[in-house]
Structure 1
């Protein structure tokens, strides 16, 4: 469900999880999505696959609730669960007329009564944001009504704002033509991928695959890529080098010692690729837009990880809208997010994102021997070595090994090293 940086999450990460599947929408002509159609296929996914928990999960379905307090009670139950939690939302995004705040429309919601009859979006962050970092994921398959979509278009209701305090993946689409209902295509794609996967991929990669499978990203949809995570606080140690060592304390002590006598990966991961050329030339008479990378990485190196992640997320959203989820620009910003996760001392998150980069490049037809494909897998492997939570490292192992089999890289023994560590992680998980 994300990296557990608290150091106490091994038991809960491998224990039972909790999933709340919510489908909601106004009754009658105000309804824009057949939200309930999202649940049967998701509910048919084995609970352990839905959350990626070896101990299974409790799955609760909530269809067309009429009272925000009822939903709040279910959210509080989910927030109190000690294990990993998944909240899935299918339905309609609306904005109240007085405070202009986003809400999830419920059965009795109308544009005039949203403030009282819809679920305030900030309640999600208020309830779920108290949980330990990395234990909670929100998936959203939404349609924006006539009050919300203009705010998405003008940027006042952004993906960053919706994701504040949450690890959020999903899509927000405009309303369908009149007298038609939108289908929950993102949810259906997720369910199909989960049913067909031998091992559930990390949510960053699952989201990317679902966007592609659902045919999203080429239109006006707002894609929610999970970019605004609870990164380490400003006082956390920064990784000054790419070898997983804490150089701030002057000792150069490794974050985690190797768990096997496997051949080591390179002590320095490949450098981050330069940003791609812009898709379009600037308009005549206008100066090119300033390069955002310096400001983003300055914030990260200063310990302002949330600020850096927010800036990168905004540029990623622009790339997704302009060029699509597997464009060079979108993949580049995925790479930037991966490096920001490394700087935020979150190797599990960095590994997930580098795996997503490699998967996207291979999906674009790039060869296994391409330096950028090899570099992405090498970086993922490199970060994986420093994931201290054994359950989290074990969950990432199958995907890394699958990619290592396709992209062995240029260092002998890398695949065998990954397999040996995965076996050791499995043995330790069984012996405690």
Structure 2
């Protein structure tokens, strides 16, 4: 009996030791696989790719200014730190330091200026594992940026077009068969389009994203609003679950969920992009939703949606001259990037990056130039025909004959009412013998 009891106690000791050993090893199993840094004009993002969900704490030290981060149960120094680009630099260096406990990791961010940190962990999604994200916002006032063109908002002002390069930084967007990132293609086309707009007298371009960093969707439209944008264009490169689909398309806001398979794919991809970008409040901004619901009651949304649809039709018409189109009419989806009630907007899918042939085409300078030119022509034509009253384009319109391209459902009486002229003057200016109009017909609009 005594011998059996001794053996049982010995067995319990062995089991306890084994369990403690297993427990310690499981607890110490986390690891920093890699570190990525994304500087932007307003903040710097640092992302630690982790083996498991991290437990962390942090504090600041002064003289010199440092952010110290302790990550629990993450021994060793496996990851190397990237060299930080001097552009938009808030962090001089990231390095390891000696932690209080050997089982932990201590990272030190050597800072160049005081920062406000927003730190959070993200669960695995897409190509990424668990992550620990540091968004460091400078507490110092940003330096004044060089303005491409001066803008007089009282008279003869520029038409301001916001050009949003989709994705960026932590969020690569779709990835082509040969490894091309959508975020790279969209930025290249957006910059070409911006250059064309800035070269046109009476027009100016602003870009919410000018480099390889992530900007949240609501921040993109907020930046456009701050710059008093008249129109918002989001540039993307489409993708699908199979490589067969090809061609461009233009999307406008729908107040309902998309009913097409590709439309649903795009809506889901936008939510996925927010997760990849590390937005801590994904799908939880109920205040923004209330704001949108209230704004929908206002006529501004009706005007924005109508304007967006008209420009979308023109963009499709111009893009058909330079590339294959997947859809020949504007498509509708409930996309956050289009939901600004006071800024008309469209989303341009320049082609399917998931199609090998189209991926190669989208990377070429010549094709990017053609796409940018097609979009530019469409937006310019719309605002030359429908300029804000205080704009330079409005002044040009007063000094030059006006023209209108007939669309489906329009009649002489509708156009006469819109332009403040009579039906008889319209007929006389265009030498019309009847009231019949044809879609695509160009009409001269007489002065009222």
TM-score, shorter chain, exceeding 0.5: no
The structure with the largest helix share of the pair is 1
TM-score (norm 2): 0.32
> Greater strand share, 1 or 2?
2
Bigger Cα Rg: 2
